[in-house]
Structure 1
């Protein structure tokens, strides 16, 4: 269950206009009278609002009895405006490129215009949700009190971009893809896409230790089919490509006013920020976060220990889930360094 916020004549960074853009979202909890308990929790690649629910609930750090949690769905994920649900002239393969900044700009309108919220107690997110978290903190430094990006970064690295290119190739080289004009899903391409992901989403140690058995699979092949192929086989190929473009182009230094200067962009963040990279993440490695966060005045890095790699942020491993929940809880309890505007 989710709601739709429509944005008429929504201008994208690339020049195209969605009329309207449709932002799917779900909320948990109630907004308090002073509108000071709002948390924004954007989604990650190929996920939706339900993908974030493992971190939301009574007794958890994101307790809906205390906080008003807004989970906006990423453009391209099939619920918000996407190739699969947008009419001509932007349907299917004609869907325009959408940036992380486009997502944040739409979310800002939802938060401010629809809910009347002026400050966010916390913005957090995993992977592409982390990209959005950093962008929020750079685009709206006076609004974001605290930020917790996990298993992500403020911009997509060259090595990460190579991984993305391999995924794109797997999909588009399937003859059934037909330049995005497919009549039937390009299933061979999607299965190849899933198998590439299987080698990157978890670490080498995860496979050496056969940790997939903890998820109920009896063999590595059963795991690849039952976990990875099952995750992507129902996804629309053009939607996957649209999200890949958004991911590959992510870079907070492109925010207006920073002119490509990543250090200046990160230095503008006022929020208290805790970055949580995973120890063995193959495409958002901890050293990238250490390099970035040293430029954030109120930033720190804590590495999620263990062998689950990028999927440490998915909530399936109890130890990783507890580590993330504890960091969220601590951050929400900490004073905000963002000045309260004079009234």
Structure 2
């Protein structure tokens, strides 16, 4: 049995202009919504991840404690559970799946929270990587609804350097002859393995590899074993079109790219009224702290709290580094304990 639920969005029109009939948003909840409906935490998923991949940050005694909060993990469009290239019927199947923005994702999540659960206030939104992108969107799109945001190891806008990195990922995946421009009949495994190799050089920091944490801490038998067992093993089970759909969402992430802010990035950041802890990884090669400094400088109620770690992007997830998990959990507890 599935451990998640489906919210039927009906005919959902994306920013691209495409309308997906019978559009679906998959989600999982923890805890119970209290009578006042004011104990809500929204915790969006990340690139290629599903709700189960977020559960490492949820638990009794942790900041995201189901005994205290009603925690909702909405799955991103394109991740294989919510409407995605892999599960959408013709004609919007496979390579014809609509281009989806983070704005589209958060608008759908807002519909879930308000229409399904009748929620008017959200205590906190938090998320890693692309989950952080959605967290920033929540703060900018619904500033009067969200009390706190904690985006970690992510950004409010895809930087030019990040965009270029993703071009390499995309090129590796689509170069496989079996890909057939997205109309593949069998999984393009060579492309997925190549994509994993590109990703491997960016997901962890130079210091992580220099100190051989892949061997000494994660327990792999060699560098090649790490590349195959961890990285290729991570991407091989996934659908190529789903990965490309979410990659497009990532590359086009921008909290100001909508009819609210009309591309004015600083205005969008300045509109975020939520109390915010912006938590970049000190050695994150995707989302360096310098980008977060710019964000915080333009947000009225934000504090910059770097995660001092050599685990690179994975300092923020998915539960890989216990020391970093403890630090993050402590900061989540801190912001939840304080006034909004």
- Compute the TM-score of the two structures, normalised by the length of structure 2: 0.98
The correspondence for 1:39, drawn from 17, 41, 47, is: 41
The correspondence for 1:161, drawn from 155, 160, 163, is: 163
* 1:49 corresponding residue in structure 2: 51
Give distance in 2, aligned partners of 1:131 and 1:325. 19
Matches for 1:296-307 after TM superposition, within 5 Å: 296-307=299-310
The correspondence for 2:338, drawn from 331, 334, 338, is: 334
**Cα deviations by residue, 1:35-63 (Å, 9 ceiling, x for unpaired):** 00000000000101111111100010100
The correspondence for 1:224, drawn from 212, 223, 227, is: 227
Contact 1:267 1:296 in 2 (8 A): yes
The correspondence for 1:269, drawn from 267, 272, 277, is: 272
Give distance in 2, aligned partners of 1:271 and 1:84. 36
* 2:148 corresponding residue in structure 1: 146
Matches for 1:94-109 after TM superposition, within 5 Å: 94-109=96-111
Q: Give the deviation of 1:259 after TM superposition.
A: 1.8
Give distance in 1, aligned partners of 2:320 and 2:243. 23
**Cα deviations by residue, 1:118-165 (Å, 9 ceiling, x for unpaired):** 010000000000000000000000000000000001000000000111
The correspondence for 1:72, drawn from 64, 74, 89, is: 74
Contact 1:280 1:309 in 2 (8 A): yes
Is 1:24 the counterpart of 2:38 in the alignment? no
**Cα deviations by residue, 1:159-205 (Å, 9 ceiling, x for unpaired):** 00001111110111110000111110000000000000000000011
Is 1:184 the counterpart of 2:154 in the alignment? no
Is 1:322 the counterpart of 2:330 in the alignment? no
SS at match of 2:256: helix
* 2:256 corresponding residue in structure 1: 253
Contact 1:294 1:300 in 2 (8 A): no
Give distance in 1, aligned partners of 2:81 and 2:265. 32
Give distance in 2, aligned partners of 1:216 and 1:90. 43
Unpaired stretches in structure 1, ≥5 consecutive residues: 337-343
Give distance in 2, aligned partners of 1:99 and 1:299. 24
Give distance in 2, aligned partners of 1:4 and 1:138. 26
Give distance in 1, aligned partners of 2:167 and 2:277. 30
Give distance in 2, aligned partners of 1:99 and 1:323. 31
**Cα deviations by residue, 1:187-230 (Å, 9 ceiling, x for unpaired):** 00000000000000000110010001211211111111111111
Q: Which runs of at least 4 in structure 1 moved beyond 6 Å after TM superposition?
A: none
Give distance in 2, aligned partners of 1:252 and 1:63. 29
Is 1:193 the counterpart of 2:195 in the alignment? yes
Give distance in 2, aligned partners of 1:252 and 1:287. 18
Give distance in 1, aligned partners of 2:298 and 2:101. 23
Is 1:279 the counterpart of 2:282 in the alignment? yes
Q: Give the deviation of 1:255 after TM superposition.
A: 3.1
Unpaired stretches in structure 2, ≥5 consecutive residues: none
- Compute the TM-score of the two structures, normalised by the length of structure 1: 0.97
* 1:15 corresponding residue in structure 2: 17
Give distance in 2, aligned partners of 1:72 and 1:225. 30
Matches for 1:195-210 after TM superposition, within 5 Å: 195-210=197-212
* Aligned residues between the structures: 336
* 1:339 corresponding residue in structure 2: none
